[in-house]
C-alpha cells in the first residue's frame, strides 16, 4: 500500500506529457517550432512547459534575444529527458522485434592541456568489442569541465590533475597512471642538442605549454633546479599546434614518454633526451553514480596496465 501511494505521488509529480513538450522545445530551439512539430498551438505548449517548471520548482528556459536558451536546470532535465525518451524508443523497437540500434552514450570532457595522442590511447578501450558505445569528446578548461560533470552533462573528465576541492563538488579521482617526459625536436635540431643533455638545453630554442598547466609548472621547476635557461620561442595553449611548430624546427618541446613512439612517427621528430624525474599524472574524474559505466571500467583498467598506476 505504501509503495502504491508513493508510486502514484511520483507519477503525479512528473507529468511525462509536460516533459515531452519541454524536450521537443529544447530540441527544436523554440516554442513555435515545437508547436508545429507536435501539431499543437503555441499557447498550449507554453502552458505545459510552465506547468513542468512549477512542478520541478525550477526555470528551464531563459530568453536569449528572440530564441530560447536552456538554464543549468534545463540542461540537466533535458539530458534525463533525452535518456527517458530514448529508452521509450528502444522499448517500442524491442516490442516490434527490431534491432535495438541504440549505442550507449558516453560523453567525456578532455582537459585542453592533454596531448591528443595520449587522449586517444586512454579512451580507445571504450570501443572494445562487446557493448556498442557512441563516444562524444568535449575539450575545454578542466574546472569548466568539472562543472559540467557535476550537472551530469558529462560521464567522465580526463585531466592531468585531480578535481579541485575548492569547487565544492563530490568527485572521485581515479589515477590512470603517470609518465616521465621526453624532449623532442626536428631531426637536425635534435642532433645539435642531444649531446650534453640536459645542459645542452641552456640557450636552446624552446616551445612551452601556455599558462599555468601542470606540465608548464613542472618544466619551469626542473629548469630552475638545474640552472638551465632555455630561450623560449613560443607558448601554445593547444598541444597539437605546439608539436606542429616543433616538427618544423621552430624549437624543442616536451611530451609524455608514454607516447614517445607515436610522437616520433606522427611528427617526424627526433629525441633530444628523456627526463624521468619530470612526472605527468593522468586522472579519470567521475561522480559517484557514473563509476560503473562499462566504458569507464574499460578505460581505467587498460590505462593502469599501460601507464602503471
What is the set of domains in the chain, with CATH numbers? 2-95 (1.10.10.10), 104-173+282-307 (3.40.190.10), 178-280 (3.40.190.10)
Q: How does residue 15 score in pLDDT terms, banded at 50, 70 and 90?
A: confident
Out of 101-110, 134-143, 151-160, 194-203, the most confident range is: 194-203
Residue 271: its pLDDT value, please? 97
| Residue count (the chain) | 309
Q: What percent of the chain has pLDDT over 90?
A: 32
Task: Decide which of 117 and 189 is more confident.
Answer: 189
For residue 167, give Cα distances in angstroms to 55, 62, 108, 189, 290. Answer: 29, 25, 19, 43, 19
Q: How does residue 262 score in pLDDT terms, banded at 50, 70 and 90?
A: very high
Residue 245 confidence (pLDDT) above 80: yes
Decide: pTM greater than 0.85. Answer: no
3-state secondary structure the chain: CHHHHHHHHHHHHCCHHHHHHHHHHHHHCCHHHHHHHHCCCHHHHHHHHHHHHHHHCCCCEEEECCEEEECHHHHHHHHHHHHHHHHHHHHHHHHCCCCCCCCEEEEEEEECCCCHHHHHHHHHHHHCCCCCEEEEEEEECHHHHHHHHHCCCCCEEEECCCCCHHHCCCCEEEEEEEEEEEEEECHHHHHHHHCCCCHHHCCCEEEEECCCCHHHHHHHHHHHHHCCCCEEEEEECCHHHHHHHHHCCCCEEEEEHHHHHHHHHHHCCEEEEEEEEEEEEEEEEECHHHCCCHHHHHHHHHHHHHHEC
Angstrom distance (rounded) from CA 177 to CA 303: 7
CA 171 to chain centre: 14
For residue 240, give Cα distances in angstroms to 145, 177, 218, 257. Answer: 20, 22, 19, 16
Query: Which of 13, 27, 106 lies closest to 299, judged by CA?
Result: 106
Residue 297: its pLDDT value, please? 79
> First and final CA of the chain: distance in angstroms?
51
CB 249 within 8 A of CB 189: yes
Q: How does residue 168 score in pLDDT terms, banded at 50, 70 and 90?
A: low
For residue 238, give Cα distances in angstroms to 114, 115, 139, 142, 189. Answer: 9, 8, 11, 14, 22
Q: How confident is the model over 81-124, as pLDDT tens digits?
A: 888 887 777 666 555 544 455 677 888 999 988 888 888 888 88
Mean pLDDT, residues 4-31 taken together: 70
Residue 31: its pLDDT value, please? 86
Amino acid at each position: 500500500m505504501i509503495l502504491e501511494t508513493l508510486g502514484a505521488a511520483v507519477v503525479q509529480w512528473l507529468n511525462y506529457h509536460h516533459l515531452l513538450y519541454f524536450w521537443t522545445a529544447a530540441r527544436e530551439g523554440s516554442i513555435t517550432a515545437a508547436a508545429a512539430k507536435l501539431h499543437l498551438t503555441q499557447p498550449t505548449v507554453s502552458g505545459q512547459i510552465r506547468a513542468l517548471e512549477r512542478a520541478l520548482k525550477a526555470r528551464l528556459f531563459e530568453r536569449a534575444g528572440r530564441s530560447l536558451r536552456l538554464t543549468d536546470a534545463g540542461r540537466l532535465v533535458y539530458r534525463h529527458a533525452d535518456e527517458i525518451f530514448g529508452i521509450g524508443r528502444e522499448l517500442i523497437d524491442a516490442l516490434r522485434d527490431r534491432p535495438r540500434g541504440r549505442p550507449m552514450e558516453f560523453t567525456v570532457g578532455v582537459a585542453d592541456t592533454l596531448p591528443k595522442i595520449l587522449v586517444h590511447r586512454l579512451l580507445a578501450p571504450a570501443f572494445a568489442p562487446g557493448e556498442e558505445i557512441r563516444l562524444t569528446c568535449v575539450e575545454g578548461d578542466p574546472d569548466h569541465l568539472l562543472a559540467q560533470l557535476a550537472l551530469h552533462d558529462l560521464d567522465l573528465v580526463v585531466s592531468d590533475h585531480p578535481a579541485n576541492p575548492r569547487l565544492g563538488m563530490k568527485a572521485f579521482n581515479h589515477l590512470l597512471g603517470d609518465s616521465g617526459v621526453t624532449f623532442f625536436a626536428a631531426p637536425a635540431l635534435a642532433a645539435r642538442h642531444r649531446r650534453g643533455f640536459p645542459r645542452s638545453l641552456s640557450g636552446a630554442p624552446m616551445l612551452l605549454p601556455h599558462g599555468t598547466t601542470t606540465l608548464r609548472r613542472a618544466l619551469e621547476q626542473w629548469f630552475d633546479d638545474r640552472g638551465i635557461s632555455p630561450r623560449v620561442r613560443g607558448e601554445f595553449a593547444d598541444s597539437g599546434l605546439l608539436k606542429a611548430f616543433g616538427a618544423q624546427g621552430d624549437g624543442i618541446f616536451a611530451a609524455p614518454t608514454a607516447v614517445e613512439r607515436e610522437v616520433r612517427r606522427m611528427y617526424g621528430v627526433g629525441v633530444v633526451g628523456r627526463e624521468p624525474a619530470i612526472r605527468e599524472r593522468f586522472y579519470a574524474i567521475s561522480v559517484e553514480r557514473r563509476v560503473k559505466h562499462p566504458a569507464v571500467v574499460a578505460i581505467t583498467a587498460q590505462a593502469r596496465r599501460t601507464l602503471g598506476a
